[in-house]
Amino acid sequence: MVPTPIQHWFMEQYLTNPNYYNQSVLLSFHNAPDRKRLEQCFKLLITHHDGLRLNWDQSRGRFFINNVLLDRPFHIELVDLSHCGEDELEWELRHQIIMHKSGFNIESSILIKAVLFKCSQTSYRLFITAHHILVDGVSWRILLEDLTFLYQVPSSQDNSMLAEKTASLKNWTDFLDQYSSQSGLLKEREYWTPIEEKRRDFILPVDKNPEDWRYNNQEVVQDTLDELWTEILKTKCYRAFNTEVIDLLLIALARTLKSWTGENEFIIELESHGRHLEGIDLTRTVGWFTSLYPFLMKLPEQEMKDQVIGIKEQIRSIPNHGIGYGLFKYIRKEWGHSKQDRTAIRFNYLGQFDREMNNELFSLALATAQDEISCDNEMSTGLDINCMIVDRVLRVEISFNSQVYYQETMIEFCTCLLDHIKSVIQFVSEIEDRTFTPSDFDAADVNQQDLDQLFS
């Protein structure tokens, strides 16, 4: 298959250890699971989703669906940690998890594995890790939904009872190849080219001059927005300005960066799930479809209302949720790239993971965010901010290079971000009147002044 933009991005990181670049989940089972049943379920998942059979062909420089993997058994190792005390258990669990994350060979092995940990006589955790080239956030939703269904339906001896598959990875690569030469994409050039020219010049303050960018130096700070604030964010913040959760988080991030740098203009690398293009259905396709693209965010100097409107409109002006940027950069090769092409800051809102990861079978155990990538690989961004809603609270996690920032700096930054998130939530949730903006009427050529006069 012709590499997709995100696959090009991965290959052009020139990783020291490309075999170890994972995403993982750790699930707490409510009752002791049937390991053989789980093995059967994973085997059915690998058969059903062609994306789980992806491998790398070094000689041809591309990924391919390796159907040889269909004939290989799927084994879930059982690790008994029930003899460990509470403190020893967490240490041993992390040690085992890291060991199992690092065992892939992207050229020949099945790139998803599961390990069952017996933590006590009644407590079991299932660790699932997959190489990132197989999965993204949407893929995890699909896989966990399918795993739950297959495990709970005793009659499911094959994958025919699973929901219909959508487009294959081959369909997607062919679609992108055609789309990359269409006039609709070419019209986006005037949007992306100025941002690309500015992107490499954008920097953030640092505590120390970096020399070593390996993941060996990565540290993480994290915090949460409590359940009450998160519920308001989810349910009471959309009406006043027709905003979404990610809009409000980016407004808060802009205000935080303003407090930190004194500037009003920033270039943030954003991630979207990359499945937005019309003409192809990827809703049930497992794979890595992420779109990475730079977002030029300008914070208005005026009051909060103007900031909400201004940044909302900037977000809405991004063409096709950023998919075109990767096509220009990696497929059409219109801009250069180098190994040191490291972004200053990356932001990703992963959405809500309540139903998929918390059900009658299992719940999410929050213990696997670190050590997903080989410590010998280099970081691709200075600050990596990930937000998601799990167990009814918003989690904010900031990964950084300890050779660049002191932990105290990042704790202060995280606290400031959460304070600004609360300020934005409070502002938009207390407004009763609706304020429309031009993007609410994308079929009409109107500006904000026209709308303010019309609805005043």
Superfamily name with CATH number, domain 5-170: Chloramphenicol acetyltransferase-like domain (3.30.559.10)
Pairing mode, strands 112-118 and 77-80: parallel
Q: Say whether pLDDT at 337 is over 70.
A: no
Return the minimum-mean-pLDDT range out of 155-169, 221-235, 291-305, 315-329. 155-169
What is the distance between the alpha carbons of residues 171 and 167, in angstroms, rounded to a whole number?
Answer: 6
What is the distance between the alpha carbons of residues 355 and 401, in angstroms, rounded to a whole number?
Answer: 33
**Nearest partner of 189 among 327, 343, 2, 3, judged by Cα:** 327
Percent of the chain with pLDDT over 70: 93
Architecture of the structural domain at 185-455: 2-Layer Sandwich (3.30)
- Residue recorded with tokens 């081959």: 170
| Local confidence band at 450 (pLDDT 50, 70, 90 cut-offs) | low
Tokens read off for 409 = 């700096």
User: 335 or 128: which carries more pLDDT confidence?
Assistant: 128
SS3 (DSSP) at 39: helix
Burial (0-12, 13-18, 19+ Cβ within 10 Å), 303: exposed
pTM of the predicted protein model? 0.92
Mean pLDDT of the chain: 91
- For the chain, give every domain's residue range: 5-170, 185-455
Q: Say whether pLDDT at 253 is over 80.
A: yes
Angular region, 264: left φ>0, alpha ψ -120 to 50, beta rest = alpha
pLDDT at 452: 66
Measured CA to CA in angstroms, residue 383 lies from 161, 221, 237, 348, 413 at distances of 43, 11, 27, 11, 11
| Local confidence band at 368 (pLDDT 50, 70, 90 cut-offs) | very low
Cβ partners under 8 Å of residue 283, min gap 6: 166, 275
pLDDT tens-digit series, residues 386-420: 999 988 999 999 999 999 999 999 999 999 999 99
**Nearest partner of 137 among 284, 351, 373, 346, judged by Cα:** 351
pLDDT tens-digit series, residues 261-299: 999 999 999 999 999 888 999 999 999 999 999 999 999
Instruction: Count CA within 13 A, CB hemisphere, residue 306.
Output: 7
pLDDT at 335: 85
- The DSSP output letter for 357 is T
pLDDT tens-digit series, residues 41-97: 999 999 999 999 999 998 888 899 999 999 999 999 999 999 998 889 989 998 999
How many beta carbons lie within 10 A of that of residue 74, not counting itself? 18
pLDDT at 156: 61
